[in-house]
Amino acid sequence: MWSRRQGRLRPVVCGVEELRRRGREREAVLRKARREQQLVSKRLLRDDAPEEAGEGCVSAILGETELQVQQLLRQAQRGTEEKRERALVSLRRGLQHPETQQTFIRLEGSMRTLVGLLTSNQALLQLEAARCLHELSHSEQSTVAEACLPATSYLLTYLSSHSSDFIELCLYTLGNLIVESEAVRRQLLPQGIVPALAACIQSPHVAVLEALGFALSQLLQAKEAPETIIPSILASTLPQHMLQLLQPGPKLNPGVAVEFAWCLHYIICSQVSNSLLIAHGALSTLGLLLLDLAEAVQRSEDAGLELLACPVLRCVSNLLTEAEVETVGGQMQLRDERVVAALFILLQFFFQKQPSLLPEGLWLLNNLTANSPSFCTSLLSLDLIEPLLQLLPLSNVVSVMVLTVLCNVAEKGPAYCQRLWPGPLLPALLQTLFFSDTEVVGQSLELLHLLFLYQPEAVQVFLQQSGLQALERHQEEAQLQDRVYALQQAALQG
């Protein structure tokens, strides 16, 4: 983020190279934190309310668990299709309870019977058997997920079914199983889960695409994903189709876009081959999507917008840290002023309705301005410094990121510091020196150092506004002593 520049003021203790090193370290920590924030979860499809008879049967199952489960499994294999289906419905409702799930997997032959019903030639029995598996997949016990291993190859096969509802159910069941057990993932990979998912992404059904995004995101969050899963996904057609589903326009579905934006985030965080995504136009697509999100805010169509904004901001932020961005013209895929203006519209929205997302937007602004004079110019020409300063009091995290962005601008040299000065910057910086957070104060000191370096008249104003007294508050703090001393010397020399 920092580059070496010459200036007439060169404090020995806190030079520009030192600022550059600190900036790199801070960014590395922040990137690592963002990469490790995962969204492992399970989802449950239940669209029917328990009937009175069903509720009674569930009570019976819980009362005499093993005997009743055995009886329902026998009933599901004999008699008319209607009676068999009723038995499976009762079993499914019983499997909503952890005690019954444990009993079911302990019973010898229970999973074999369920798989037999899943593979029968009667559609209603197949569907109810799949729903029973779905209930089991939602268990928090890995032993239950591993007990479902005999069914996984059939669930994969049925992803090519003609019924979109059945495909959706199979995808959510697979997604739940994937996240719970490494044994399940080890079995699914050679069984061909990646090609099966790649085939599903061409479905015209929104519900199927949303379920696919969920299953894929579960797979991508596995600890072994960078080595064994993501290379296969990148070698398939999935990345291109994911980017198509994120293209702004009338066909963009918010639910589908949220799922695949998170998928893209996990792929990018793996750093397996981000150059491939950049070459496929990922930055361009995501940049346009940011513009679309900002337009939605302006149209007051912001319901659920934060669900999509968060992964999109993270994707763009992390892609901008790749060395390949420059070599393949990645920066050119983002239009400077439009992206910066859109980002500030989103920041204003976050400020009003989702303050927790402000660091995400500021992290992107940091990465945009870190190595790009043109984005810094956009920030200045759009008069966005003062709105940025207004965010300083919100929290320590926000303050650090705002100050980091301003350091990025000031670091570009005298011409940029002249446009920061005069104005509200120095009074705001003096206020931050009274903060108790060491990181906020440290970042303020670094920004002051750059101002003194490139805009010497700032020193006199600093002295006139009791700047030295503000610095004295921190001269005994071990983490800040060197920087405080360097600024005190610079101010006295000035």
What percent of the chain shows pLDDT beyond 70?
84
Looking at residue 7, its pLDDT comes to: 26
Residue 441 lies in a domain: no
How distant, in Å, are the alpha carbons of 20, 78, 284, 432, 448 from that of 407?
Answer: 10, 75, 27, 14, 9
The one-letter code for the residue type at 342 is A
Share of the chain above pLDDT 90, in %: 63
Residue 394 lies in a domain: no
At residue 35, the pLDDT reads 42
pLDDT tens string 332-390: 556 668 999 999 999 999 999 889 999 999 999 999 998 889 999 999 999 999 999 99
Q: How far apart are CA 19 and CA 27, in angstroms?
A: 12
Please determine, for residue 470, whether its predicted confidence score (pLDDT) is greater than 90. Answer: no
Q: Is 180 in a helix, a strand, or coil?
A: helix
Confidence (pLDDT) at 324: 62
With bands split at pLDDT 50, 70 and 90, how would you rate the model's confidence at 16? very low
Does residue 2 carry a pLDDT above 70? no
| pLDDT value for 466 | 73
What's the whole-number mean pLDDT along residues 203-214?
96
Q: Domain for residue 121, yes or no?
A: yes
- 333's CB contacts (< 8 A; 6+ apart) are 278, 281, 283, 284, 287
* Cα separations in angstroms, 198 against 159, 203, 233, 344: 11, 10, 8, 36
Mean pLDDT value across residues 473-492: 75
CA 73/CA 95 separation, integer angstroms: 12
Q: Which residues neighbour 481 within 8 Å (Cβ) at sequence distance 6 or greater?
A: 474, 475
pLDDT for residue 6 = 25
Domain at 111, CATH number: 1.25.10.10
Q: Which residue has the higher pLDDT, 21 or 272?
A: 272
**pLDDT over 80 (residue 28):** no
- DSSP code string of 352-388: HH-GGGHHHHHHHHHHHHHS-HHHHHHHHHTT-HHHH
Task: Please give the average per-residue pLDDT across 18-23, as a whole number.
Answer: 51
Note the pLDDT of residue 29: 52
Predicted confidence band at 327 (pLDDT cuts at 50, 70, 90)?
A: low
Please give the average per-residue pLDDT across 259-273, as a whole number. Answer: 95
| Rounded distance between C-alpha atoms, residue 68 and residue 58, angstroms | 9
If one compares 231 and 56, the residue with the highest pLDDT of the two is: 231
In a domain, 139, yes or no: yes
pLDDT at 134 over 80: yes
pLDDT digits (tens, 9 = 90+) for 403-451: 999 999 999 999 999 888 778 898 899 899 888 899 999 999 999 889 8
The residue behind tokens 């404090």 is 11
167 within domain boundaries: yes
Whether 171 and 218 have beta carbons less than 8 Å apart is answered as no
Whether 318 is covered by a domain: the verdict is no
Kindly state the DSSP code that residue 476 receives in the 8-state scheme. T
Q: How confident is the model at residue 109 (pLDDT cuts 50, 70, 90)?
A: very high
Task: Compute the average pLDDT of residues 290-301.
Answer: 89
Residue 126 lies in a domain: yes
Q: What is the pLDDT of residue 52?
A: 40
Task: Output helix, strand, coil percentages for the chain, rounded to the nearest 5.
Answer: 75, 0, 25
Per-residue pLDDT at 337? 83
Identify the pLDDT of residue 83: 94
pLDDT at 325: 67
Measure the CA–CA gap between 107 and 104, rounded to whole angstroms: 5
The pLDDT score that the predictor gives to residue 21 is 54
| Predicted pLDDT of residue 363 | 95
pLDDT band at 197, cuts 50/70/90? very high
CB 115 within 8 Å of CB 123: no
Full domain range(s) for residue 193: 31-44+61-203
Tell me how far CA of residue 39 lies from CA of 44, 75, 217, 221, in angstroms: 16, 40, 9, 8
Average pLDDT over residues 106-131: 95
Average pLDDT, the chain: 84
Cβ(274)–Cβ(297) below 8 Å: no
Query: What pLDDT score was predicted for residue 459?
Result: 83
Does residue 163 belong to any structural domain of this protein?
A: yes
Listed residue (42, 61, 155, 46) closest to 102, CA to CA: 61
Measured between alpha carbons, how far is 404 from 414 in angstroms, rounded to an integer?
A: 17
Average pLDDT of the residues in 175-194: 92
Instruction: Render pLDDT for 51-86 as a digit per residue (tens, 0 to 9).
Output: 444 444 554 444 447 888 999 999 999 989 999 999
Tell me the pLDDT band of 453, cut-offs 50, 70 and 90: confident
Number of domains, the chain: 1
**Judging by beta carbons within 10 Å of its beta carbon (0-12, 13-18, 19+), is residue 213 exposed, middle or buried?**
buried
CA distance 145 to 139: 7
